[in-house]
Structure 1
């Protein structure tokens, strides 16, 4: 592969300004939100589906690996370059291609900022439900690649549940249009659901047709505090067993509470607080009081220290302040945060937290856990010092034990962050050799020359 040959061809297909190989640009796009970096050979900024198609066709001829990128907000290395690769940034593709309030659908380009979708349709009383934590700046293409979720997935589901159809470019440079523009459609294999969550390893998604929902007219939030995580987990089970589905149900363990307190948040918690639940309900205003009453009754129980309720925006923001300060709080506690997002059935959440406490004690590690309790989806954060080789070895042992515990509890290794490069070595713990063989065969059909996001998702053979 000769870079001097490829760059003129790419500049002819795009233009000189959108084929960058200057040191400053390469440094900016050398990493995502994962520790580590790799300098790519160039960064490409397509403006259209046709330009993406041209990029893939040229890259295939020259065996140039392509790494698709949205906002680079992922934390499993899904958008990290590999040696000798080109980054394809979709940030210039932000068009709203089509919108129908009657059909409750919107078609957007892959670079569209996720939060902008709901902002665009809000005037018609609609919204796009998936809401990853990076919602204000992440891009829909990255959400599609990782099948992103968020706090409201407990009621509304994840990205895949809202994708009707896709336009994409395969590793052979061919255009693939799959899915429908309707709420029903069962013709052929469901390639749309296959591509969502494939992390850019099968095709580069350029457009998506998304399903929208009516915007709830009212909501209320409750904050419940407990003396320990076991009692908090029991409350989670009670909440999920009653007949109102919360729109969000978040949990913070004692170490997460300590982290936010160190940042100056959650100082109003009662003495002995060791676990916290945030519960949100939404719907028509007339339904909110009944929902709150049922949820409050479910939250009350052994170990409950306090239950607060808020309905106006300012009060709700105050209640959510502790949860939203967690990410910067944990990053401030150690030079490196190894962030896993494992999932178990809600009925086994308590067992998972007990296993995490055991791993922390056995390996002498500082582990902070919080996340989407209504889905059984915990963000398990190993806070470590990379320069301490002994601690890093213990962390690797701890990760292995964590994943084994999750699978023993009928769980899965990733709920919304994806696999990327950082977790692919652990995939054989969950997927059988037969399953991996079929998935590798699918990869060869879509991308026979293995140029699309190499080193991601599937483990080495």
Structure 2
């Protein structure tokens, strides 16, 4: 419950259509893709950096928690207002401020949808490489908060690699600018890369200068089907050893293929138990040579067939249906986005199969294998306490396996609240202490997204 004085002053900062306190209106901002619910006491919708600053400063004065939020598509609980207080929704900060093809730059506010940036860039022959599966409805601010990736990160990198500078409001209520407008710049500390991936715990990003990349002249698509998981994993290592780096390399296990067959029964060979979806891009003259090299690298004893595909778009549509279809197996998925070195993928995938069998937990895996980024989905029924307990133990051992293989617990979803209990497995005590000190410098009153990231 907000203090009356605080609510009155908050209401004076914004018009009534950009300030909600009715629990019914606020409920839509109580959850994200984790399906957990934490109702805020109020939701505000700033449209300028100065309005963001005014809200932050008021929350500092009253010690009120403030949770920045994009479109609520995250899977790690990063935008959940766990401690109540105010949700700062950036969804109405929708301006594309500058489209500058000469300097390969777009300047955009945090509420702009990823796809809108792609559309604006495409008309000038460019694209912005971060392409999460939620690109059609996730916001630039959300992409920045978790350094989102996507299928094409294997060649082009994640969000952090494609941002030149930011404007933001710190948890201390100050407006700051980081980075620069040019692709070269080494003046001062790199605060841009610090803020990207910080999940709204240090500052509220109000504007981003995005670095664009020329669209490739041509693309080629390849599918490779395997009789067994081990053969598929070995092929991933072979493909990634090529000098011709694929622009996307997606892995789907047997559970994923069964889900696709349920929707598209004639799309896949009957004996396929694992699959790779591979894309190459570049100059018109380069693509045929690259496709041939990839097909050759896919060959091993477990290969059923590897071929160029005429309808790559249909395959990508099938790939994007996987997450929703998981609920056909169980009512809840424990969704993790771990990463291991590509060379460790065979051992990791074998370990996953062993652990899911050991704990009798249904498991479907797919993801961006070219980065070693596998989306692990443990499928469970919350109404069965024993199953939930087994899944928790299984997940803990999966994380131990990831760390033992020199991997990381999150590639693109972030820590939020879902992974915070585990980050001590990856980050040592001294480093965690330094991170907490940085948090206090940016947010001395601990009002910005309190409780996230750290155990």
TM over 0.5, shorter chain? yes
CA contact (8 A) 1:65 1:86 kept: yes
Counterpart-to-counterpart distance in 1, 2:326 and 2:307 = 25
- The equivalent of 2:394 in structure 1 is 398
Q: Is the 8 A contact 1:257 1:266 kept in 2?
A: no
Deviation at 1:318, TM superposition (A): 2.5
1:249 corresponds to: 249
Question: Would the aligned equivalents of 1:106 and 1:211 in 2 still touch at CA under 8 Å?
Answer: yes
Mapped partners of 2:256, 2:297: distance in 1: 23
Give the SS at the match of 2:338: strand
Q: Show the counterpart of 2:124.
A: 124
In the aligned structure 1, how far is the partner of 2:74 from the partner of 2:2? 30
2:297 paired with 1:302: no
Unpaired segments ≥5 residues, structure 1: none
Say whether the 8 Å CA contact 2:38–2:84 is kept in structure 1: no
Structure 1 residue 386 and structure 2 residue 386: aligned?
Answer: no
Counterparts of 1:230 and 1:322, CA distance in 2: 23
**What whole-Å deviation, never above 9, does each CA across 1:370-421 have from its counterpart, x for those lacking one?**
1000000000000000010000000110010000000000000000000000
Work out the CA distance in 2 between the residues paired with 1:175 and 1:29: 25
**TM-score, scaled relative to structure 2:** 0.98
The equivalent of 1:271 in structure 2 is 270
Paired position in structure 2 for 1:102:
102
Report the secondary structure of 2:440's partner residue. helix
- The alpha-carbon distance between structure 1 residues 128 and 266, as it changes in their structure 2 partners (threshold 3 A), is farther
Residues 130-188 of structure 1: CA distance to partner in whole angstroms, max 9, x if unpaired?
00010001000011000100000000000000010000001111001110100000111
Asked if 1:181 is matched to 2:181, the reply is: yes
- Is 1:411 the counterpart of 2:407 in the alignment? yes
Q: Following TM superposition, by how much is the alpha carbon of 1:266 offset from its aligned partner in structure 2, in angstroms? A: 5.2
1:259 CA drift (Å)? 2.2
The 1-side partners of 2:84 and 2:91 are apart by 22
Determine the C-alpha separation between the residues in 1 that align with 2:18 and 2:442: 26
Q: Structure 1 residues 351 and 206, CA, compared in 2 at 3 Å: closer, same or farther?
A: same
How much has 1:206 moved relative to structure 2? 0.6
Q: Give the Cα separation in 2 of the matches to 1:189 and 1:126.
A: 29
TM-score by length of 1: 0.97
Distance 1:43 1:255, change over 3 A: same
Deviates more, 1:150-159 or 1:317-326: 317-326
Q: Do 1:421 and 1:457's aligned partners in 2 also have CA atoms closer than 8 Å?
A: yes
SS of the residue aligned with 1:102?
helix
> Contact conserved, 1:166 with 1:179, CA < 8 A, in 2?
yes
For 1:361 and 1:92, how far apart are their aligned partners in 2?
47
**Aligned residue in 2 for 1:158:** 158
Separation in 1, partners of 2:252, 2:352: 13
Counterpart among 357, 368, 372 of residue 368 in structure 2: 372
Alignment of 1:44-443 (within 5 A): 44-262=44-262, 264-265=263-264, 267-311=266-310, 315-443=311-439
Map Cα deviations across residues 407-437 of structure 1 (whole Å, 9 max, x no partner): 0000000000000001100000110000000
The answer to whether the 8 A contact 2:339-2:372 is kept is: yes
User: What do you get for the CA RMSD once the two structures are aligned?
Assistant: 1.1
Measure how far apart 1:322 and its partner are.
3.1
Query: How many residues were matched structurally?
Result: 455
User: What is the distance in 1 between the residues matched to 2:318 and 2:265?
Assistant: 5
| 2:261–2:268 contact (8 Å) kept in structure 1 | no
Contact 2:76-2:419 at 8 Å conserved across structures: yes
Q: Which moved more, 1:392-401 or 1:118-127?
A: 118-127
Moved more, 370-379 or 81-90: 81-90
